[in-house]
Amino acid sequence: MSSSIHSASPNPVIDVRSVTRRFGSKTVLDDISLQVERGEVFGLLGPSGSGKTTLIKLITGIDKADGGSVHMLGEQMPKLAMLQRFGYMAQSDALYNELTAKQNLTFFGSLFGLKGSQLSKRIETAMSIVNLQDDLNKTVAAYSGGMKRRLSLALSLLHEPELLILDEPTVGIDPVLRQSIWQELSDMRRRGTTIVLTTHVMDEADKCDRLGLIRDGKLTAIGTPEAIKASSGSATLEEAFIVYGGGVRA
């Protein structure tokens, strides 16, 4: 786990400053600021409905903030060209079920500007990372839930992004598969990929280098899992989450 202290480094991969997002009269995100450093696994931890996905959408530039600013790799978001620089996996698998895995990969690969032998090579690599290389020509409809999740991950790896943004990557996945996905994520991190993910599973959050705790649209705590546990005086993240979520330090 990362031991460095992450305080306002000069070149964060993601720089969110005082971001606010409202839907109608409801404030979904309230004055959130956080930075993600190069090469770290950053987890956003919070119950469903807390605003995690909205924050992810603001970071990716799919949605636009009502106040504050979001920078990714030094560029102000939203910006179309930046969509080439990160890989995104949404909560739903979002696959074309009637097509084969290969056709899905070819389609999204083309959208990222990959073609010919380069595309085939990238498809091969991405599918071997998620261990699906033997099922390339099966239609997605014949895939199991876990296989779909892995294919979905492979799709977001196709264009070798330096930043990977994953919304609940392991939700609804059995423990064995979850472990293998985490294995893949830490391999990627070793190769220098920055990873941002959301989760509401505590033991998963423990594996992140740093965590941001979100509750009701507010960032209640940010830091390494150890630091968060220590500062809240709790033995587990779950306790820490309750302490922060309960408004003691919010």
Partner 1 sequence: MRIRALAIRIIRQFVRDKRTLALLFLAPLLILTLMKLVFNGNTVEPQIGAVQLPAALVERLEAADAEVTSYDDFQSAEQALKDGVLDAVLSLNGGKPAIELEGSDPSNTKMVLLLLQRTMSAGLPAVAPDITYLHGSEEMASFDNFGPVLIGFFSFFFVFMLAGVSFLRERTSGTLERLLATPIRRFEVVLGYLSGFGLFTLLQAALIAWFAIDILGLYMDGSIWLVLMMNLLLSLTALTLGTLLSSFASNEFQIIQFIPLVVVPQVFFSGLFNLDAMTPWLQKLSTIMPLYYGADAMRGIMIRGEGWSDIQLDVYVLIGFSAVFALLNVIALKKHRAI
**Is 110 near partner 1 (CB under 8 A)?**
yes
Round to whole Å and give the CA distance between 127 and 133: 5
Closest separation between CB of residue 112 and partner 1, Å? 6
Residues numbered 154 to 173 that lie near partner 1 (CB under 8 A) are 155
Phi, psi values for residue 79, rounded to 5°: -145, 125
Closest separation between CB of residue 105 and partner 1, Å? 11
Q: Which is nearer to partner 1, 115 or 121 (CB)?
A: 115
Site string for partner 1, 176-205 (x = CB under 8 A): ------------------------------
SS3 6: coil
Q: Which is nearer to partner 1, 58 or 228 (CB)?
A: 58
Tell me the CA distances in angstroms from 118 to 65, 158, 194, one per residue in order. Answer: 36, 10, 23
Round to whole Å and give the CA distance between 206 and 43: 9
Looking at 8-16, 20-28, 104-112, 205-213, which segment touches partner 1 (CB under 8 A)? 104-112
Please give the torsion angle defined by the CA atoms of residues 41, 86, 119 and 123, in that order, rounded to the nearest 10 degrees.
30
Q: Which is nearer to partner 1, 6 or 148 (CB)?
A: 148
- H helix or E strand, kind and range, residue 214: strand 210-215
Round to whole Å and give the CA distance between 1 and 46: 21
Looking at 11-19, 36-44, 100-108, 238-246, which segment touches partner 1 (CB under 8 A)? 100-108
Round to whole Å and give the CA distance between 239 and 13: 30
Q: Identify the residue among 64, 144, 172, 238 touching partner 1 (CB under 8 A).
A: 64
Q: Identify the residue among 20, 69, 91, 125 touching partner 1 (CB under 8 A).
A: 91
DSSP class of residue 199 equals E
The site for partner 1 (CB under 8 A) is made up of 60-64, 78-81, 83-84, 88, 90-99, 103, 106-108, 110-113, 115, 139, 155
